[in-house]
Structure 1
Amino acid sequence: MNTNKLGNPAVVGLAGFGLTTLLLQFHNLGLIGLGPVVAMGFIFGGLAQMIAGFLEHKMGNNFGFAAFTSYGAFWIGLGIIWILNNAGIYASSHTDVGFYLIGWTLLTLIFWIGSLFIHTAMAITFSTLLLGFILLDLAHFGFPEMTTVAAYVLIVCALAAWYMMAATIINEVSGKQLLKSGKPWIKLN
């Protein structure tokens, strides 16, 4: 019998998701250039998050597997779009990116529904992510001022993801539940 304790891959996935989301919102607010976002989009938001997703699969967590690998692919895909645009290889228009975001909004809707059955911290993270995507969709289709509103909503999303990461790490190392994740918003019995 194997008694080795495995680490929780969600901490890396949540860290990568939160950091890359936060950096993109700093960019959307005009505080930083796109370079750090692209770098983290490939490495931490992309590759590390996908690895976390693959490890969630090994742990038997379908939600974590699907979410982390999906959003890891989102960041890598978005990074590729930006690089191709910058290099003039294949230009994606503002509308093209808008349709890319609509696809991700629809996928996020599915994850949002699933998050309602997990716990409050997860539901808050996915509620703000879904709202952020909707606002970015609007920004790409005629309401550019929504980019700023989306940035603030998605900063909350990033911090909510980091809260879950912090709760997992701090609760484990302290041996106590110091940070609570809350109850599911929907519980079927």
Structure 2
Amino acid sequence: MSTVKLGNPAVVGLAGFGLTTLLLQFHNLGLCGLGPVVSMGFIFGGLAQMIAGFMEQKTGNNFGFAAFSSFGAFWIGLGVIWILNYFQIYTSSGTDVGFYLVAWTLLTLIFWIGSLFIHTAMAFTFTALLIGFILLDLAHFGFPQLTTVAAYVLIICALGAWYMMGAIIINDVAGKNILKVGKPWIKIK
């Protein structure tokens, strides 16, 4: 039996998810261009998050494995859509992207239910993510003004992911729970 302490892959997954989500919302609010979002969508939100997911599988964490691998693929897929649109290879309309987002909303619903059994920080973050996806769905199907509302909700989501990342790192180096993540919203006995 090994006594070597391994790092928690969730810190990279949460960092990548939070940063890329934050950058996209800065773009959705008109504060930055799409270039930084595409770059981080491929590398940090995509590749790094997918690697974190694969490492979560090695720890036996099905939720982390599925969530990080899936959302890593989300960011890579979204980046591919943007690149294909830019080069006018296979262009996607706003409605096409809307259907992409609806599919991800449905998958997020499953993760949201799972998050309710983990802890408050996870449930809070996935609640914000689910609401943000629903708002983006509506924005792509006739209510574009909801993109701004979605951006603010998803900034909160990104900060929730970073809070969990911070809790893992700070609590580990401090050797005690300084940042609390709370109890599960649903507990079955």
Same fold (TM over 0.5): yes
- What is the rounded CA distance, in whole Å, between the counterparts of 1:170 and 1:65 in structure 2? 22
Identical residues among aligned pairs (%): 82
Secondary structure in 1 matching 2:64: helix
Deviations 1:32-80 (A, max 9, x none): 0000000000000000000000000000000000000000000000000
Partner of 1:121: 121
Alignment of 1:21-170 (within 5 A): 21-170=21-170
The aligned amino acid for 1:172 is: D
Aligned residues: 189
Secondary structure in 2 matching 1:104: helix
Gaps of 5+ in 2: none
Secondary structure in 2 matching 1:165: helix
Partner of 1:172: 172
Stretches of 4+ moved more than 2 A in 1?
none
Secondary structure in 2 matching 1:183: coil
Per-residue deviation, 1:176: 1.3
Gaps of 5+ in 1: none
The CA RMSD measured in Å over matched residues stands at: 0.3
Partner of 2:181: 181
**TM-score normalized with structure 2 length:** 1.00
- What is the rounded CA distance, in whole Å, between the counterparts of 2:176 and 2:55 in structure 1? 25
Deviations 1:109-130 (A, max 9, x none): 0000000000000000000000
Per-residue deviation, 1:2: 1.0
- What is the rounded CA distance, in whole Å, between the counterparts of 2:178 and 2:87 in structure 1? 48
Per-residue deviation, 1:142: 0.5
- What is the rounded CA distance, in whole Å, between the counterparts of 2:135 and 2:41 in structure 1? 20
- What is the rounded CA distance, in whole Å, between the counterparts of 1:21 and 1:2 in structure 2? 36
Deviations 1:64-116 (A, max 9, x none): 00000000000000000000000011100000000000000000000000000
The aligned amino acid for 1:152 is: Y
Partner of 1:7: 7
The aligned amino acid for 1:168 is: I
